[in-house]
Structure 1
Amino acid sequence: MRSAEPGFLRVIGLMSGTSLDGVDAALIETDGVTVGRRGASLSLGYDAALRQALYALFDRASELRGDEPELLSAERALTDIHAEAVRQVLTMEGEVDLIGFHGQTLFHAPQSGRTWQIGDALRLSGATGLPVIHDFRSDDVRAGGEGAPLAPWYHAACLAGQGRPVAILNIGGVANVTYVGRDGTILACDTGPGNALLDDWALRHTGVACDHDGALARAGQVDQARLTALLAAPFFHRLPPKSLDRQAFIAALDLLAPLSAEDGAATLVAFTVQAVATTILPEAPRAWFVCGGGRHNPVLMQALAETLAGRVAPVETLGWNGDMVEAECFAYLAMRSLRGLPLSAPGITGAPGLFTGGRLSAAAIRPAPGFWPLPSRDAALSRDPH
């Protein structure tokens, strides 16, 4: 049954991050400016075959044409598990208006004018009977922006009333920060690696793609010489906004290869933390609220608390669900796209102005009352994987 406020839609956001652990789905009610009720949410994990298929595409992504059988097979499987996530949320929530579908980033190289998220939006629309907003990053990159991060719009909307300056630190496969200054100015960037390198390292040494409870890192010692070498990368001397591809620092695993499993994990945790600490912000935040999978690692959270000025706490202290922030974000961004509101901004993505983005795909949909007519500006009824 519909319960959204006038002008608000009920939107399901979907997020598949660079950690490749699965899809998160979350419903929010929003008008694209403010956030109303947060509804049902869930996570569906990827099986080993899909995770392996996606990972195998990463290193080849810059060379792929988009029609390779292995890519199309992985894209179908990815889309179908997203559709199942939507169906489960619909079972809990009933009527929904719109889906925000991020897809899976295969390649992100804004300096080359390209970002690529796979996922068949028309297939998802047909499977769920709902219109789908997708391809959130491409317009920003074409305009000269970094295409990431996009979550700061949602973070800032949810941070009303918090003492400033304040930061939201998202530690997914890549880590990124949203900084809200004393005057409300928003600045954002990727800070460096998040969980991806540590997950890859743990998989290589233990067969499990996660350092559960930070056990490996807790037992190890940081190799300071190798950490210094990692932090010498030019990326860490750039001012925000800036963004990263998941594989940008994959060579770190080779640099750390001579180390024990424990020492390598400890060094990778220190790498993530020091990358955050060296990010150039106008003023030290009074508080850092942490979301994403990284906040489940107690060694990482302790290191952040010991290194960063200001309070460090999980976003649950704000009443948020830290596992669902990004999924909720893409529900919010879908509504902004539908209304033609900005997804780009100079301080967030580095784009030269305020620009909207996203594409609409719709196939055999069941329009909800009050949803139609859709803005023709966004209509994209044929699939373009790039």
Structure 2
Amino acid sequence: MTANPSPRYFIGLMTGTSLDGIDAVLVDFATPTPELIATHSADMPDELRADLMRLQSPSDNEIHLTHLAANAHSRVCADVVAHLLQQANITAAQIIAIGNHGQTIRHRPELGYTIQIGNNAALAEYTGITVVGDFRSRDIAAGGQGAPLVPAFHQAIFGTNHTNRVIVNIGGIANISWLGQDGYVSGFDSGPGNVLMDLWVQQHKGLHYDANGEWAASGRPDEGLLTQMLSDPYFSHPAPKSTGRDLFHRHWLESHLAQFNRAIKAEDVQATLAQLTASTIASAINSQGKVDEVFVCGGGAYNQYLMDCIAAQLACPVLSTANLGVDPSWVEAYAFAWLAMRCIDRQSGNLPAVTGAAGLRILGAIYPH
């Protein structure tokens, strides 16, 4: 009789482009089929969210404000980790490492840098656990985009040799992972996910997001505005490519609306933005070849209007990753637990075919406890 292997516990932390909260997962990687042990999510404190949002654009005293926000972010992450451990009845000493994505405030791979803030040294001190952070810089140093990093994880967890499968992550930015039945993997950022819809609904409704896409569903997409937005060069640029708030931000949206010569209802703008996200995702998927099934994770998976818009442009089922055994809310945090495990084990975490890097690289900087 074979004894059960000793647990290999890792924690993944994810704060995405939407700036809505911090997601945490506890995963046991002791066997080839990892086990998701516990999950926890906390809303981003309003003051920290406002500080992080300000840092998305150049401002006065930026260096000072960035470090203060990084410290605050790490304290919130430490509280999330404490809740997760308490929920799982597991001690910090049992955790091998935390994989901390951090909060992206700049992503400029074309200039050779990306910044995800979060004081990882402080997080290691607060939690008593080794922290792995700064996952994207090594790929960029090797000539890659530093994003998306999740396709390698998607292949490890969701890959199959029976079908051509696509995993779509819809956070603030949307990205696709093509998992071919022949083992071929590709992926890239298709464009905006929720970021523009969130900006517009916050401006007009005072809400952080359009729940279930109900406001968008009350409007009608404007084909002229949609065509104008789709003319942005990013959408026709070949992969590998990645993007973020550095391109798709409030000024981008305002400039397109300013160029539009006739009045358009606010709800019709929201419907158009949903269609922009859906159309660019569907176009990215269709560009890869024959696809048999699509599974969606991230906050967009809970927007039924958006899911319906995507499905209308594809000739295959569009489902949630819950159908593959992982709730859409936890997939990205799970990915950074996996990336931390790969780093600790001295194994590569990127896919050069996805990011454009010169080769496989071990990703992450280790802050030992």
SS of corresponding position for 2:18: coil
2: CA distance, partners of 1:309 / 1:350: 29
| AA at the equivalent of 1:153 | A
2:350 corresponds in structure 1 to: 344
| AA at the equivalent of 2:53 | Y
Contact 1:16 1:103 in 2 (8 A): yes
What displacement does 1:253 show? 2.2
1:47 corresponds in structure 2 to: 45
Q: What are structure 1's unaligned runs of at least 5 residues?
A: 366-386
What displacement does 1:319 show? 1.3
Contact 1:125 1:131 in 2 (8 A): yes
2:208 corresponds in structure 1 to: 209
2: CA distance, partners of 1:348 / 1:337: 19
2: CA distance, partners of 1:124 / 1:115: 20
2: CA distance, partners of 1:199 / 1:336: 34
Contact 1:171 1:290 in 2 (8 A): yes
- The number of equivalent residue pairs is 356
Contact 2:161 2:180 in 1 (8 A): no
Task: Give CA-to-partner distance per residue, 1:162-189, whole Å, 9 cap, x none.
Answer: 6321100000000000001131111010
Counterpart check, 1:302 vs 2:308: yes
SS of corresponding position for 2:12: strand
TM-score, normalised via structure 2 length = 0.92
Per mean C-alpha deviation after superposition, the further-off stretch among 33-42 and 113-122 is: 33-42
Q: Where in structure 2 are the equivalents of 1:191-202 lying within 5 Å? A: 191-202=190-201
Counterpart check, 1:57 vs 2:52: no
2: CA distance, partners of 1:256 / 1:60: 23
Contact 2:159 2:165 in 1 (8 A): no
Counterpart check, 1:92 vs 2:96: no
2: CA distance, partners of 1:146 / 1:123: 28
Structure 2 counterpart of 1:277, from 258, 269, 282: 282
What displacement does 1:64 show? 7.2
Q: Where in structure 2 are the equivalents of 1:73-112 lying within 5 Å? A: 73-93=68-88, 94=90, 95-112=94-111
Task: Give CA-to-partner distance per residue, 1:3-54, whole Å, 9 cap, x none.
Answer: 9835x620000000000001000011126x9442111001100122111111
Contact 2:151 2:177 in 1 (8 A): yes
2: CA distance, partners of 1:308 / 1:352: 33
Determine what percentage of the aligned residue pairs are the same residue: 37
What displacement does 1:215 show? 1.6
| AA at the equivalent of 2:278 | V
2: CA distance, partners of 1:230 / 1:334: 37
1:5 corresponds in structure 2 to: 5
Per mean C-alpha deviation after superposition, the further-off stretch among 232-241 and 249-258 is: 249-258
1: CA distance, partners of 2:185 / 2:41: 29
Counterpart check, 1:134 vs 2:133: yes
Q: Where in structure 2 are the equivalents of 1:358-377 lying within 5 Å? A: 358-362=364-368, 365=369
SS of corresponding position for 2:26: strand
1: CA distance, partners of 2:139 / 2:361: 7
Q: Where in structure 2 are the equivalents of 1:236-247 lying within 5 Å? A: 236-247=235-246
SS of corresponding position for 1:325: helix
| AA at the equivalent of 2:78 | A
1:324 corresponds in structure 2 to: 330
Q: What are structure 2's unaligned runs of at least 5 residues?
A: none
1: CA distance, partners of 2:61 / 2:299: 29
What displacement does 1:235 show? 1.4
2: CA distance, partners of 1:24 / 1:278: 29
2: CA distance, partners of 1:259 / 1:27: 46
Which of the pair is proportionally richer in helix?
2
Per mean C-alpha deviation after superposition, the further-off stretch among 227-236 and 244-253 is: 244-253
Contact 1:13 1:331 in 2 (8 A): yes
